[in-house]
Amino acid sequence: MKLILAIIQDKDSQQLQEELVKGNFRATKLPSTGGFLKAGNCTFIIGVEEEKVDDVLTIIKKNCHTRSQFVTPTFLMPEAASSLTEPVEVQVGGATCFILPVDKFVRF
């Protein structure tokens, strides 16, 4: 068994949740916050048999979209507030996925 940790944008979370249920995959959704933007995102915990990992990744890829977001450099570098005021564009993924081994899985 593997554990997929997928950090995705809030906007995609409902659609992803629905598609995982349709695909008969079990998942837990946690609210999370990106360290860089300090904005809300979602982390999905998905326990899945090893041979199904790629099926889950396909669903994630299909339902989670990369978007541009503008942040002000003053937010990123408060010390430069006086000289840098133009917003800068960052591309926020899609999804950032970690696939971890699971030593043991039990449900009671």
Site for ligand 2BA, rule CB under 6 A:
7, 34-37, 39, 41, 90-93, 96
Smallest gap from Cβ 24 to ligand 2BA, in A, equals: 26
Pairing of strands 27-33, 67-71: unpaired
Smallest gap from Cβ 35 to ligand 2BA, in A, equals: 4
Instruction: Give the residue with the Cβ less far from ligand 2BA, 51 or 86.
Output: 86
Query: Partners of 12 in the beta sheet?
Result: none
How many angstroms separate the CA atoms of 99 and 101, rounded? 7
Residue 72, token pair as written in the block: 């002000």
Closest-by-Cβ residue to ligand 2BA is 34
